[in-house]
Structure 1
Amino acid sequence: MVKTLKISTGHIVTQGERNIVSDMDGEKVMLSIENGKYYNLGEMGGEIWDMIQQPISISQLVNTLLAEYEVEKSECEEQVITFLKMLHVEGLIKVEEA
């Protein structure tokens, strides 16, 4: 497991390597080759996963979601950061300073 990092909107995130992702009825599921675990990313998590194929700042990610969905910015930031923290703790994404 990866040490917990204080993730903020200023960080850059991208997908980690060695994950197999599949679409199942509109939801993304993933197998981590590294740790042998399965993850159900869900519909929104799958959309975020697709958006982080290339390095992207969390603030850009949030702004893209805000343009697409009717949600308060603070709520969107909180939910996105919580999701990304879970992925980071599991070693599924890379997080870097902007």
Structure 2
Amino acid sequence: MAVNLQDKVQRHPDLVFAHMGDEVVMMSDDQSDYLGLNGVASKIWTMLENPLTVQELCERLQTEFDVGREQCEQDVVIFLDDMKQRGLIRVLD
């Protein structure tokens, strides 16, 4: 099921990751995938230390980046869906 704006999400607490400058690097849940995040993706990862709804996440991103609401929501949902499929974030009840 796709992530929606009302979902509360958080990065997976058991993942090993490291900040390297403006980037975040990590291994996937099953250790078979290396992933590097830069720019906005790195910022999203940092923001997801604590649970946020997707809507709250988008609102925070809009205060830091020059992006419209609709575009931000579309891009964030696509990104979070990918992160969820990789086991890097979890959707909370």
Report if TM-score (shorter chain) is over 0.5. yes
What TM-score results when the alignment is normalised by the length of structure 1?
A: 0.85
Q: Which residue number corresponds to residue 21 of structure 2?
A: 25
SS in 2 for 1:62: helix
Moved over 3 A (4+): none
Distance between the aligned counterparts of 2:66 and 2:87, measured in 1? 30
Alignment of 1:14-53 (within 5 A): 14-32=10-28, 34-36=29-31, 37-53=33-49
Contact conserved, 1:66 with 1:73, CA < 8 A, in 2?
A: yes
Distance between the aligned counterparts of 1:76 and 1:52, measured in 2? 16
Give the drift of 1:27: 1.2
Distance between the aligned counterparts of 1:81 and 1:19, measured in 2? 21
Give the drift of 1:25: 3.4
Q: Which residue number corresponds to residue 67 of structure 1?
A: 63
User: What is the RMSD computed on CA atoms of the aligned residues?
Assistant: 1.3
Contact conserved, 1:28 with 1:43, CA < 8 A, in 2?
A: no
What TM-score results when the alignment is normalised by the length of structure 2?
A: 0.90
Is there any run of 5+ residues in structure 2 with no aligned partner, and where? none
Give the drift of 1:68: 1.2
